[in-house]
Amino acid sequence: MFKLSVVTLDLWQTLILEDGVTGQKRESLRICQTSKILGEFGQNFTIDQIQRSYLEGLAVCEKLRKKERDVSFKKQVSIFVRSLDRTLYERLDKSTISSIERAYDDSFWEFPTLIHKDAESVLFDLKKRGFKLGLVSNTGPTSGGLIRRFLETKRLACFFDAMTFSDEAGFAKPAREMFINTLTQLGSNAKEAVHIGDDLNTDIFGGNRAGLKTIWVKGFVPPLSDKEIRRFPSPDAVISNLSQVPQAVEELYKRSY
């Protein structure tokens, strides 16, 4: 029997809202900082070379994520550096590598993403109702560790009883392991949980495949055709705004008993 006691949530485009412009600014800063750091080590590359290698590194990591796997943040940076020169990473000293890693990650602090205006109130409401909360998030160029610290500064981390980031877990949604890992941390199981997110593949398909109920927040994604929507399993509820989460969860809760 389904007895709802756990709510897991997606992060990007659900609780925090990213736009392409901000991401591009982070990319430019990463590339410029890397150029400066390598130049100080006596390794001079053009901005175009670094940008090309940066994009190649992202593509390698994204290809892995499509196979439902992920790499650690340090490994991601090493892929980027090796794309510039296959032997470069081994020739750099630890201090230089650490500097590149910090520049790569800390660009997020310079150009942070926006917190959804209803995120704090929704999380507070869910906790007040007695639910355990988990965060299940894929990561990109920004590490899970930095995202965790960012959520702490925004007073959101305190609401979560468990957080799972793909670069730390080695798996990427829609992998079942991402959800099961989170539920294990919570001392719970799929029959007691609902997952909420904006992506029909990573969140709805992934959550359903792991045995969780799902709620699709459809307002954050570009409009999809009926044909596109039919490619994925039906969520247990559909809402158009994050503010509707507590009501949707409450309705599922009533149906679970």
Q: Which residues contact 198 (CB under 8 A, 6 or more apart)?
A: 10, 13, 14, 216, 217, 218, 219, 220, 221
Predicted local confidence at residue 221, as pLDDT: 63
Instruction: Show the tokens assigned to 40.
Output: 């100080």
Residue 1 has pLDDT above 60, yes or no: no
Write the pLDDT tens digit of every residue in 65-123.
999 999 999 999 999 999 999 999 999 999 999 999 999 999 999 999 999 999 999 99
pLDDT score, position 232: 77
Predicted confidence band of residue 192 (pLDDT cuts 50, 70, 90): very high
Per residue in 118-166, pLDDT (tens digit) is 999 999 999 999 999 999 999 999 999 999 999 999 999 999 999 999 9
pLDDT of 3 reads 86
* Buried/exposed code over 77-87 (b: 16+ C-beta within 10 A; e: otherwise): bbbbbbbbeee
Residues 7 and 194: beta-carbon distance below 8 Å: yes
User: Cα(206)–Cα(31) distance, rounded to whole angstroms?
Assistant: 33
pLDDT average, residue stretch 37-60: 97
Q: Which of 147, 182, 145, 146 is nearest to 163 (CA)?
A: 182
Helix segments in the chain, DSSP class H? 20-40, 47-66, 73-84, 88-91, 94-110, 119-128, 144-153, 166-169, 176-185, 206-209, 226-230, 245-255
What average pLDDT does the chain have? 94
Q: How far apart are CA 131 and CA 54, in angstroms?
A: 41
Which among 178, 164, 193, 165 has a CA at the least distance from the CA of 256? 193
Task: Give strand pairing partners of 213.
Answer: 194
**Average pLDDT of span 16-29:** 94
Beta-carbon count within 10 A of 111 CB:
15
pLDDT of amino acid 157: 98
pLDDT at site 220:
63
3-state secondary structure of 14: coil
Taking the C-alpha atoms of residue 106 and residue 84, their distance in angstroms, rounded to an integer, is 21
- Give the angle subtended at the CA of 194 by the CAs of 190 and 195, to the nearest 5°: 105
- pLDDT at site 224: 64
Q: What is the pLDDT of residues 200-257, one digit of tens each?
A: 999 999 999 999 999 999 876 666 666 666 777 789 999 999 999 999 999 998 887 6
| Residues 152/135, Cβ–Cβ less than 8 Å | no
Scored b (16 or more CB within 10 A) or e, 146-156 reads bbbebbeeeeb
Output the pLDDT for position 217.
96
Strand-pair partners of 137: 165
Percent of the chain with pLDDT strictly greater than 90: 89
